Amino acid sequence: MENKQAHAGNELYDENFYRINIENSHKRASVIFPVVTKYIHPRSVIDVGCGVGGWLEYLQKTSKRGG
């Protein structure tokens, strides 16, 4: 069986990669955003980065305003 572990510069960007990336983003966001929103009450947010949008997706799913 071929070793399919991700290595720098040799990652497999398949459906599983994106699923895991989104899941990990949601886990991190669920810890970070409650702390941030305790002190800051943003009316809008923007995600500027090179990820797959997991943090924004988390906010849309959990937002009181619903995105």
Q: What is the pLDDT of residues 20-50, one digit of tens each?
A: 999 999 999 999 999 998 999 888 888 888 8
| pLDDT exceeds cutoff 50 at 15 | yes
Alpha-carbon torsion, ordered 39, 47, 5, 31, to 10 deg: 20
Q: What is the DSSP letter of 49?
A: S
